[in-house]
Structure 1
Amino acid sequence: MTLALPSLPAARRLPRIGRIERYVLIQQLRSLATALAVISALVMLIDFVEVSRGVGSNQDLSALRILGLVAIKSPAVIVQLFPFVFLFGTLGAYIGLNRRSELIAMRAAGVSAWRFVLPSAGMAFLLGVLTVTVLGPMASAGDAMWQRERARISGTAPGAGPPEAIWLREGDDQRQMIIRAGRQDRANARLLDVTFFIYTTQPGGGRTFSERIDAQSAALSAGRWRLQDATGATVGQRAVTYSTLDLPSSLADEEAFERFARPQSTPFWSLPNQIQRIENAGFSSTAYRLRFQQLLATPLVFAAMSILAAAFSLRLMRLGDMARMSVAAVVLGFAFFFLNQFSAAMGSAEVAPAFVAAWLPPILTALAAFTLLFYTEDG
């Protein structure tokens, strides 16, 4: 005797992608590949001219060497332009379907626009996740390599140019130290011409200056600063000279000699630890928090651009004004870009929280795209 399992109601079955959806997805992927190729070619051409006139003018670099520099520099710019890839690619795919009257045939057969627009948006969302987790870190690594190579070729690498002062900050609830070093000796892991400004934290949270210590060198090891030839002076007291002096430290050994990478050069997976390190050192991590939130919002940006382009393409079928609606879609795409840049500037200036500055533009774009699609499809 066999028991028959009850079949799930139609409303509870998992959605399946049919032939129409697969066909539209394939057309969209082809159009996205074309848009990516065109944008990448333009970016690499511009970067080739920029590198040739910048770094290449100061050094005798071969064309092959310049191409190598462009290959590690351009991916970071291309990844930033991915929203336009989805805008132009999706718009081109649906315009092609419209020109071949395939959209008209789908609508005449009673196929709802939501049936093939939502899978396209879902694919864009998944590609956004892939971009953030895989392609983005690779582009960030390339950008960091480009910064190092440009500094080395231009002769501005650490130790090649004038010494630059190093500032550090550390402490706890009882004491804060601001450290300034005139230069560093990486070979011996020391800071040279060092000044320690020590502040005491009061019970109310305020800080008062308590001591200044000048030293010829300071080495960080095993959770302490070892100062050589130091002179310390507290408020209201005479200066005291020390041949060696130890001060407790909460910094890791490498943090005294490693500069924080730019937010754009920091991979997605390293941003949380980088933010924690910067805050532990007493510096502002606003730019890194904003970058992290922008990366988290990237999949929503791609999906919103895909829906926006599809909504304008559906209106082409009804209104018959292809040029006007295509220009309107491109204008809205650039409007999103400028809104995103403006919001990022507000976030960097701490006028708006990093979360709001990163998520507001894609949310507004997604709402605008859904509103237009609802109006086009359901009247």
Structure 2
Amino acid sequence: MLPNIIFRYFARRFFWTILTIFLGTFLLILLVDFVELFRRGSDKENADLLSLFLMSLFRVPELNERILPFAALFGSIIAFLNLSRRLELVIVRASGMSAWQFVSPALFVALALGILASTVYNPAASLLKEKSLELDAKIFGSDFTSSGQQTSQGWVQQKGKDGDSILKAKTSFDNGRQLGGVTVFSYDANGKFVERIDARSAKLEEGYWHLNDVLVSSAKSPPRHYNTYLVSTHLTPEEANETMANPDSVPFWDLPGIIEQAKRAGLPANKYRLRFQTLLARPMLLAAMVLIAATVSLKIFRFGNVGKMILSGIIAGFVLYVVTEFAKDLGNTGLVNPILSAWLPAIVASLIGFSILLYQEDG
């Protein structure tokens, strides 16, 4: 009975510490983002204070999702330090409990938070992000250049009824079906350059891109401005999703369907497979952060050197994050299998943390 009570007590401590850091960063990002939006919308007629606040509130969850691994790391370090400072770890050690018994509540909390973050928080954050983009379109017009998701590709070559063209966009929206900051180089059927097209935004229709606020330049005539302009394309919605959309904007539960669509269309979909596996591996990544925190925190009350050990834990956490991002880049390009890219950093970090903790506690 007593171990269960201690387990629940420690789990609550870790949960509330991690949640406090996560919510603290959420409020900080919300404040900074709202101030920036207020500055941008100060000269817009329909930019009232409530709409700007809702727009910021809806898009901050997607930004704050990236903070979760560091919230787990810093929250675990702070929780271990508080337990050590209040001599609670000394008491449970004196009662005969091993380090693994009071590390296990933190691991349980990390795994549970990782599962909830991938299956519940991520879809909700993606949905709110879409709503924030809708508000952005109403307030700032149809320009998605500064508010949409960054596109995952550079220049994309496409074929159409009028000839080939090369397209690039700064941002994407609606799974690659709407673009912002669009540049198109158009060629005729013989491969000869025809014109350059710069548009504020574009929307994929059946057989063509519908461009808005367009400037067309060619060698034979001066630049011409059009409110709307059409560029033919044979791109399907699935192909646009694969080439233009950012996989980080796709909710967790939609990823398997998109991967299957890309497979039927003969597309590789490496970035979507990687995103799906990354979300699946998130609980293990958070557990690795907890193990890193435990290796630098549990011996503090016995040996001192608080500052150095905390700094080493923070550095180790950042190194793990950098390695994870590097592995994702390799997975996105197809150089490394997406499953390996997503899982290997978390598995290796967990094994290293487990080994160090095993050596420190059991010799």
Cα-to-partner distance string for 1:194-239 (whole Å, 9 max, x where unaligned): x9x9xxxxxxxxxxxxxxxxxxxx969xxxxxxxxxxxxxxxxxxx
Q: Report the Cα offset of residue 278 of structure 1.
A: 2.9
Within a 5 Å distance, the mapping from 1:8-19 to structure 2 comes to 18-19=4-5
Larger Rg: 1
How far apart in 1 are the matches of 2:291 and 2:100? 10
1:95 corresponding residue in structure 2: 81
How far apart in 2 are the matches of 1:137 and 1:156? 25
On the 8 A contact 1:124/1:306 being kept in 2, the answer is yes
* Aligned residue identity for 1:132: S
- For structure 1, which runs of at least 5 residues remain unmatched after alignment? 1-14, 159-164, 170-177, 183-194, 198-217, 221-248
Cα-to-partner distance string for 1:327-361 (whole Å, 9 max, x where unaligned): 11111111111111111112222222211211122
Cα-to-partner distance string for 1:86-143 (whole Å, 9 max, x where unaligned): 1111111110011111112222222101112123202211221111111111011122
2:129 to 112, 120, 143: 143
1:69 to 43, 55, 64: 55
1:314 to 298, 312, 337: 298
Within a 5 Å distance, the mapping from 1:1-379 to structure 2 comes to 18-53=4-39, 55-56=40-41, 59-60=44-45, 61-156=47-142, 261-379=245-363
- For structure 2, which runs of at least 5 residues remain unmatched after alignment? 145-154, 168-186, 190-204, 208-233
How far apart in 2 are the matches of 1:131 and 1:39? 16
Determine helix, strand or coil for the equivalent of 2:293. Answer: helix
Q: 1:358 to 1:112 in 2, by over 3 A?
A: same
On the 8 A contact 1:141/1:266 being kept in 2, the answer is no
On the 8 A contact 1:95/1:313 being kept in 2, the answer is yes
Q: 1:353 to 1:181 in 2, by over 3 A?
A: closer
Q: 1:111 to 1:62 in 2, by over 3 A?
A: same
* Aligned residue identity for 1:140: S
Determine helix, strand or coil for the equivalent of 2:142. Answer: coil
On the 8 A contact 1:148/1:157 being kept in 2, the answer is no
Cα-to-partner distance string for 1:167-214 (whole Å, 9 max, x where unaligned): 879xxxxxxxx99899xxxxxxxxxxxx9x9xxxxxxxxxxxxxxxxx
* Aligned residue identity for 1:56: G
Q: Report the Cα offset of residue 150 of structure 1.
A: 3.0
* Aligned residue identity for 2:354: F
Cα-to-partner distance string for 1:220-275 (whole Å, 9 max, x where unaligned): 9xxxxxxxxxxxxxxxxxxxxxxxxxxxx9x7xx7699897531221111101112
How far apart in 2 are the matches of 1:219 and 1:264? 25
On the 8 A contact 1:168/1:256 being kept in 2, the answer is no
On the 8 A contact 1:94/1:310 being kept in 2, the answer is yes
Q: Report the Cα offset of residue 317 of structure 1.
A: 2.2
User: TM-score by structure 1 length?
Assistant: 0.67
Determine helix, strand or coil for the equivalent of 1:110. Answer: coil
Q: Percent identity?
A: 33
How far apart in 2 are the matches of 1:274 and 1:356? 20
How far apart in 2 are the matches of 1:357 and 1:39? 28
How far apart in 1 are the matches of 2:132 and 2:269? 23
1:209 corresponding residue in structure 2: none
Q: Report the Cα offset of residue 287 of structure 1.
A: 1.5
Q: 1:32 to 1:181 in 2, by over 3 A?
A: closer
On the 8 A contact 2:10/2:105 being kept in 1, the answer is no
2:181 corresponding residue in structure 1: none
User: TM-score by structure 2 length?
Assistant: 0.70
Q: 1:180 to 1:273 in 2, by over 3 A?
A: farther
On the 8 A contact 1:79/1:136 being kept in 2, the answer is yes
On the 8 A contact 1:168/1:281 being kept in 2, the answer is no
On the 8 A contact 2:291/2:354 being kept in 1, the answer is yes
